[in-house]
Amino acid sequence: MRFVCQRDPEGGAQLGVVQADGSPSKLAEIASKFAEQVSKIGGNVAKVDHISTRFEIVTRTESYSYACGTNNQQCRGTRTVSNEVGTTQMVGRAFRVEP
């Protein structure tokens, strides 16, 4: 598998658009998924057209327990937790280039 970034490969037949996404901290894993998608549709060259990362706030409710009372009793509660989660997306095209 070969990646090109500047221009479409010479003599290549475009097979289709491919994309892969994942955690921003795992760009190598995203690139591997992207290459896998290119291979699945018969491509041997991948052209990356766009890489972007978006962030969103994800809110969830979680249960927790804590010591309370005088006899080391366990009390339970729930709380709402918000985290910022990023997703990186790689979009491009698959080509078939004959040797």
Tens digits of per-residue pLDDT, 20-66?
A: 999 999 999 999 999 999 999 999 999 999 999 999 999 999 999 99
pTM for this entry: 0.73
Domain that holds residue 65: 2-96
Comparing C-alpha atoms, which of 6, 18, 32 is closest to residue 96? 18
- Find the CATH number of the domain harbouring 18: 3.30.110
Q: Taken in order 76, 79, 84, 85, is the CA torsion positive or negative?
A: positive
Encoding tokens for residue 89? 């997306």
| pLDDT tens profile 6-20 | 778 888 899 999 999
Strand pairing of 45-68 and 2-4? parallel
Number of domains in the chain: 1
Cα dist from 62 to 59, 75, 76, 80, whole Å? 10, 14, 11, 6
